[in-house]
């Protein structure tokens, strides 16, 4: 049965956010909830199987080799964090799992600095166990390699750079490991790294990532929607002082983001990440924003990461070429292209308890309205408050 073999088998931005939370918000609590967007039906007994896999994570611990790799490759993270991570253990009591027929419920609750690491491993376990328990057979290892090589040969011709962002909804660790091995052995400079820290160490490539939506969702709960992006980025720069400089733009829509992305932040951050909505429209808005601040768009980068495949990448790169810097983070099209239906699931923060505050619902307003997450009444209120008429 599926299980993780390393505490670093997680996305890099989970660790960078954890470090920042420890420094700035150590008393904050958080709740997370599994969202089954694809309405997948789970077989009887799945909750018990997932429970056993999650319980097994309590034995994971950062090894000396992993600690050395992480510290050497991330000099912008202070040494005390790696000592903390060496002593960190997953606490399965923070996770509640129930099943009603084919419907699965997963909820997480605890201090934010601890619970922040659960999302990615739980999602990857759900995917891998789902394929295992339902007896679905993937293509062979040889075919996986051929699929990856075929894609890379096409990407090479576009003269672009790409990274792997596919941990959360991968088919399995075995496939993910094989994909990264194949990407690293491919004879070009197109592939530049992976968001998965353990696989970056195993295959001697670069760790890629900065922060995720939950960073800004918390800031909205504590400081309000109109200040969430501004203070989220200010606090990020307080911790990382210019490193890890790709800003996530769509937690409360790109429209709201650029209103708060003032000249100081626009100059400080290396670029922005696109994760929902029309990519070309986003590129146009981003180019206009930089130009309006007197900044050459070619000195900045957009990292595109929204459900990419070759056709989307080709269209985006054709538009951006010569206008702005660009790169791509590709997820399940690398790690779950094995001849089976890909799972459409997420696990999101749903409430947070700021220090000296009260439990507050948190939401995400995507540039794609169908991908809004959170309490519907809170979503409507935020849309009105941010004056986002086109999303109503």
Give me the CATH number covering residue 284.
3.20.140.10
Residue 66 belongs to some domain of the structure: yes
End-to-end CA distance of the chain: 44
Are residues 170 and 124 in contact, defined by beta-carbon separation less than 8 angstroms? yes
pLDDT of residue 3: 82
Contacts of 178 (CB under 8 A, 6+ apart): 141, 144, 145
Convert the pLDDT of each residue in 91-102 to its tens digit: 999 999 999 999
pLDDT of residue 389: 62
Residue 7 belongs to some domain of the structure: no
Block residue for tokens 């996986």: 144
Mean pLDDT within 224-228: 94
Are residues 363 and 217 in contact, defined by beta-carbon separation less than 8 angstroms? yes
Same domain, 158 and 291: yes
Same domain, 157 and 290: yes
Same domain, 218 and 166: yes
Residue 5 belongs to some domain of the structure: no
Mean pLDDT within 380-385: 88
Residue 27 belongs to some domain of the structure: yes
How many Å apart are CA 297 and CA 188, to the nearest integer? 26
Same domain, 228 and 252: yes
The number of folded domains in the chain is 2
Same domain, 24 and 120: yes
Is the pLDDT at 51 greater than 60? The verdict is yes
Last residue of a domain, one of 317, 335, 353: 335
Range scoring the smallest mean pLDDT among 166-175, 303-312, 362-371: 362-371
Residue 348 belongs to some domain of the structure: yes
pLDDT of residue 387: 85
Same domain, 236 and 280: yes
Residue 182 belongs to some domain of the structure: yes
pLDDT of residue 249: 95
Same domain, 50 and 150: no
Same domain, 38 and 108: yes
Same domain, 207 and 160: yes
How many Å apart are CA 105 and CA 48, to the nearest integer? 12
Compute CA distances 351 → 23, 39, 191, 220, whole Å: 20, 23, 37, 11
pLDDT of residue 371: 76
Compute CA distances 165 → 44, 169, 355, whole Å: 31, 9, 32
Range scoring the smallest mean pLDDT among 196-200, 223-227, 321-325: 223-227
Contacts of 116 (CB under 8 A, 6+ apart): 14, 17, 18, 21, 30, 214
Same domain, 297 and 375: no
How many Å apart are CA 280 and CA 319, to the nearest integer? 7
Residue numbers of the domain that contains 78: 12-137+342-386
Backbone angles phi, psi at 30, to 5 degrees: -145, 155
- Longest CA pairwise span in the chain (Å): 59
**Structure tokens of 179?**
């994909």
Convert the pLDDT of each residue in 182-215 to its tens digit: 999 999 999 999 999 999 999 999 999 999 999 9
Residue 170 belongs to some domain of the structure: yes
Same domain, 331 and 360: no
Contacts of 324 (CB under 8 A, 6+ apart): 283, 286, 287, 290, 297, 298, 300, 301, 302
Last residue of a domain, one of 313, 335, 357: 335
Residue 4 belongs to some domain of the structure: no
How many Å apart are CA 119 and CA 4, to the nearest integer? 13
Same domain, 264 and 379: no
Mean pLDDT within 14-38: 97
Mean pLDDT within 159-171: 98
Range scoring the smallest mean pLDDT among 78-87, 157-166, 339-348, 353-362: 353-362
Is the pLDDT at 236 greater than 90? The verdict is yes
Last residue of a domain, one of 319, 335, 351: 335
């Amino acid at each position: 049965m599926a299980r993780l073999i390393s505490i670093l088998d997680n996305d890099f931005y989970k660790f960078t956010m954890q470090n920042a939370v420890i420094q700035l918000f150590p008393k904050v609590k958080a709740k997370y909830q599994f969202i089954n967007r694809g309405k997948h039906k789970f077989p009887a007994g799945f909750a018990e199987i997932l429970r056993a896999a999650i319980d097994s994570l309590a034995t994971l611990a950062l090894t000396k080799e992993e600690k050395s790799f992480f510290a050497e490759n991330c000099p912008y993270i202070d040494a005390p964090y790696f000592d903390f991570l060496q002593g960190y253990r997953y606490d399965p009591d923070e996770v509640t799992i129930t099943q009603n027929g084919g419907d699965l419920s997963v909820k997480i609750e605890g201090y934010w600095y601890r619970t922040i690491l659960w999302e990615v491993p739980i999602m990857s376990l759900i995917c891998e166990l789902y394929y295992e328990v339902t007896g679905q057979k993937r293509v062979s290892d040889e075919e996986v390699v051929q699929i990856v090589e075929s894609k890379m040969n096409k990407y090479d011709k576009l003269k672009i750079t790409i990274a792997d962002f596919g941990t959360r909804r991968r088919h399995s660790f075995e496939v993910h490991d094989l994909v990264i091995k194949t990407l690293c052995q491919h004879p070009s400079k197109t592939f530049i790294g992976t968001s998965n820290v353990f696989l970056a160490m195993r295959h001697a490539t670069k760790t890629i990532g900065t922060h995720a939506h939950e960073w800004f969702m918390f800031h909205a709960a504590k400081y309000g929607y109109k200040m969430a992006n501004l203070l989220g980025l200010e606090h990020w720069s307080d911790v990382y002082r210019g490193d890890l400089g790709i800003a996530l733009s769509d937690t409360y829509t790109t429209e709201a983001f650029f209103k708060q992305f003032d000249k100081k932040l626009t100059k400080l951050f290396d670029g922005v990440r696109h994760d929902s909505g029309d990519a070309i429209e986003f590129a146009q808005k981003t180019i206009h924003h930089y130009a309006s601040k007197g900044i050459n768009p070619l000195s900045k980068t957009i990292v595109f990461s929204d459900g990419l495949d070759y056709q989307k990448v080709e269209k985006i790169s054709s538009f951006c070429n010569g206008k702005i810097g660009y790169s791509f983070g590709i997820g399940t099209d690398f790690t779950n292209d094995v001849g089976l239906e890909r799972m459409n699931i997420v696990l999101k923060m749903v409430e947070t308890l700021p220090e000296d505050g009260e439990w507050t619902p948190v939401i995400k307003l995507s540039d794609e309205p169908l991908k809004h997450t959170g309490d519907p009444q809170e979503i409507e209120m935020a849309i009105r408050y941010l004056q986002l008429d086109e999303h109503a």
